A and B are shown apart, each in its own frame.
Chain A
């Protein structure tokens, strides 16, 4: 009779020992072992940890693990249950401030400890947010709605469509701006697909997350949230954007266009970068500074175009030397309708793949080419190989990023079976996913070590 809450996470030998002494988790105990005696609180154990140890919180606040076999006696002195709860305070209403809606999908923007896995899990409510980031009330009247509670790798078409519909609904109700809390790993996929599903928005739609979870004093969550709420409430940029740290320092955030942004570092705070262009604007607590002028402006109406479609029979194939045609074949055989290739250089794959590409064409599978260099255009006219592939029906997608081409293809195939129509949709720029020109400052990856770069870095906080 294992009451899972009473002995949370314990199994096997350690569960047996605890049950022997009726020592449930959160018991304050005096524990006698063959190694000596210990005072402390019995903590829940992570499910993924072994079944041989008992976790004890010492009076100093430290935790230690003791081998269950060494325990000789446990005296129970009391009980102290953790109330891990961010102090909730009702979000104040100020009639002079705009109304912002914050949708939660998960991620580390707000999180708490999970004893089941020992990792952090998301937590989210306006009261909790106000309790931990009271500055938000300086910018807006905030409403929140938890759409999903998933890690960003678990976001998919169902959540994308649900989020798009929820956004449209709020816009029609007359909200001044929208913020979407999202895990950072796939934030750029969601930003891109929302850029296609929600068109002609009258208000800013700002995606935000954090690279350091909010249970850390140095988290970027609070500042990112402040920046994104300010943008949603005050900016005149009515586009889908990603709002994350510009530098790793607590200085300013960048507003990236949803179709040109990409996560570029597995852990850095300043991980999101606009690729092949410059960001739309900078934002700090005081002001929003546009870096360009060609963005869509805020309007006073409540009109928005919603296209909530997606066919998930689409794949990205990241080409590598010596790739075998069976990779493509298996996609065709499994009923995929669209393939985005991230090719080498200007958009190339090797010759042995050609028969498979021909088969894809014959089977009405749409094949699009992007570049794995991320920066630059697909230019299939330059070399014979490129021309050969175009003969086989492979369509170059200019400077669309591979992930963006992937969600756009799924979105296009969700609307029509006609591959010509799909092609028209794919090649018609909707939200900056294809640009006519690449400014030369759209490609700036500073190389450390070079004297002039080091001089710059020594003067400007990165």
Chain B
């Protein structure tokens, strides 16, 4: 192992990352845009944050995998002994999500989308879909497992001058949204539960934190370009796998925003690197897996008079205090792991998650420089547990069971330091560091779903999807450039659900690319700003409106005008919506009327009369005649007026 020391984030170079053997891969979860959920017929994409009708309480027990093994994560979650509460809203959840009804057949629409994206990633589609159960004992799914199935294996996407390999893609049901997790109670909302999503797993081929974010963005845009995935907060979540040379794969779970990735992966790499250095330090002190020594004692009686508030209060509430002795560890709980974060945090996290001691601080230790016990008290404890100056003491407090679990967990985590980096899933924290979430689950948590038989994916189905594959967005972008689509629209349009509509408008109907692109990308935004429900807009609406334009039934301004009317009418077109074209005489009449009104106004600047008149006329004639014609006539009108006056 090299003696490389981490530099601040901004100063790290690609060579530095190569030096530590930085490797990272992604698991991207992307919700699919379907009307209904994956294994039942509840609506997808409906959320209720605060309203719920009923609550259900469940507990989870570990079960065996198909190969007859228990999964480590499952056993860990069982240790936590949580009451899991599900909040139910009748509109979004049926008896299936509550695990009171077996699954219904898989949502074919979702399966088609997953297969389509698989083909876009150059993957091989499976011939037979086997639905598996992936165990989650945290309760995030009431069954205790997620129904999931591999839809394709392998594949790649081009990136820079190389390709990034894809390991596999699966179609699976989304989990609950967590409301709170405190002590022995965890509360979940169930509206999101069961919505279809795909998980795309890349090879660990990204070499710097920046590359991870870039590849993620590339994949995000690629799936978006199908127009068949959901957007918005929580619609795409990524797990980022990070390792350094000599380390272990660690998964940063549920990163909500791509821009967070570089700092998170940097910190995680630093943590692993520093844990490896800690191992070396321990070895130097003669501490390894065999010689590691730790014990714990009940020290409650020694601390009844302490002034250290957390312990003082705990004892007053009848709780107990355990002291763990880590032989020969002096100073190492202050070993830096991440930016402004030390090894003591690794221990505190474990105690919080596994012993359910959620109130912080949940530990105090003798390496700490902040005020905890008085030095006299530390001495008293040290003597009682027969610890020397070279040892580190860690205190943990709670009710008898939790304090016991806590002490045991501290020993487990400290011992893991002699090996290096434990396999974990970690949370993304807002300061860009990561925190312990759970032990990294292995393949042991997979189990075939006995409720649903394997499903054959026919060659006809594969062929049908292949024939309708969308163009790659990077191909679209170069085409847009060549036909003069404005630069600020290109990026949005190339992954828009209207990209195909654009092709029809431009190639089949001969509409100007600038007009079509502007309408498809900007008009929905404008309508949304006006408070319209743009879910009533679709490709057909645009094509219909442009037909009218092409046949000169409406003018250019009439496009937006007509779209607005249709959207306001719940997406239904009525013949009366087509505005009557404004004749020359009517236009002149309107201009005269408007200018009379303007004459009566007191203007701060007389020159504004033209603009004002124009806006009054446009208000009355909008959609019936193009603005530029009106402007021309208004200017003409005022020019004549001035001539007459002279």
Chain A interface residues (CB < 8 Å from chain B): 35-36, 38, 46, 48-50, 53, 55, 57-67, 70, 80, 82-86, 112-113, 118-120, 132, 211-219, 222-223, 248-251, 265-269, 448, 454, 457-458, 461-462
B615: chain A residues within 8 A (beta carbon): none
Decide: A457 and B67 in contact? CB cutoff 8 A.
no
Does B405 make an interface contact (CB < 8 A)? no
Chain B residues 177 to 206 lying within 8 A of chain A, measured CB to CB, are 201
Interface residues on B, range: 35 or more
Decide: B453 and A118 in contact? CB cutoff 8 A.
yes
A61 in contact with B54 given A217-B62, A267-B95 (CB within 8 Å): no
Decide: B127 and A217 in contact? CB cutoff 8 A.
no
10 contacting pairs across A/B (C-beta < 8 A)? A46-B454, A61-B65, A65-B456, A67-B128, A132-B61, A212-B143, A217-B61, A218-B144, A250-B58, A457-B53
B119: chain A residues within 8 A (beta carbon): none
Nearest-neighbour CB distance to chain B for A236, whole angstroms, equals: 28
Nearest-neighbour CB distance to chain A for B178, whole angstroms, equals: 17
Bound: A204/B596 CA distance, A: 99
Does B142 make an interface contact (CB < 8 A)? yes
Nearest-neighbour CB distance to chain A for B199, whole angstroms, equals: 11
Decide: A65 and B126 in contact? CB cutoff 8 A.
yes
B170: chain A residues within 8 A (beta carbon): 62
Query: Whose C-beta in chain A lies nearest to the C-beta of B151?
Result: A64
A57: chain B residues within 8 A (beta carbon): 66, 446
Chain B residues 406 to 450 lying within 8 A of chain A, measured CB to CB, are 442-448, 450
Chain B residues 92 to 140 lying within 8 A of chain A, measured CB to CB, are 95, 98-102, 124-130, 132-135, 137
Bound: A36/B57 CA distance, A: 46
A84 in contact with B62 given A38-B153, A61-B443, A458-B53 (CB within 8 Å): no
A118: chain B residues within 8 A (beta carbon): 448, 450, 453
Decide: A65 and B128 in contact? CB cutoff 8 A.
yes
A265: chain B residues within 8 A (beta carbon): 100
Does B68 make an interface contact (CB < 8 A)? yes
Decide: A67 and B127 in contact? CB cutoff 8 A.
yes
Nearest-neighbour CB distance to chain A for B123, whole angstroms, equals: 9
A448: chain B residues within 8 A (beta carbon): 90
Partner pick for B143 among A80, A86, A218, CB 8 A cutoff: A218
Partner pick for B443 among A48, A60, A216, A269, CB 8 A cutoff: A60
A249 in contact with B64 given A67-B127, A217-B74 (CB within 8 Å): no
Nearest-neighbour CB distance to chain B for A302, whole angstroms, equals: 36
Sample of 4 further A-B pairs with CB below 8 A, known A60-B201, A216-B99: A58-B168, A61-B443, A67-B128, A250-B59
Partner pick for A249 among B58, B62, B102, CB 8 A cutoff: B58
A82: chain B residues within 8 A (beta carbon): 66-68
Partner pick for A50 among B135, B142, B148, B456, CB 8 A cutoff: B456
Decide: B54 and A458 in contact? CB cutoff 8 A.
yes
B143: chain A residues within 8 A (beta carbon): 212, 216-218
Bound: A34/B444 CA distance, A: 29
Query: Whose C-beta in chain A lies nearest to the C-beta of B130?
Result: A63
A61: chain B residues within 8 A (beta carbon): 65, 132, 134, 442-446
Decide: A63 and B456 in contact? CB cutoff 8 A.
no
A251: chain B residues within 8 A (beta carbon): 57
Decide: B168 and A60 in contact? CB cutoff 8 A.
yes
A55 in contact with B130 given A38-B153, A50-B456, A118-B450 (CB within 8 Å): yes
A249: chain B residues within 8 A (beta carbon): 55-58
Of A58, A223, A248, A457, most buried by chain B (CB within 10 Å of CB) is A248
Query: Whose C-beta in chain A lies nearest to the C-beta of B74?
Result: A217
A457: chain B residues within 8 A (beta carbon): 53-54
Decide: B56 and A46 in contact? CB cutoff 8 A.
no
A53 in contact with B128 given A216-B63, A218-B143, A267-B102 (CB within 8 Å): yes
Of B67, B74, B154, B446, most buried by chain A (CB within 10 Å of CB) is B67
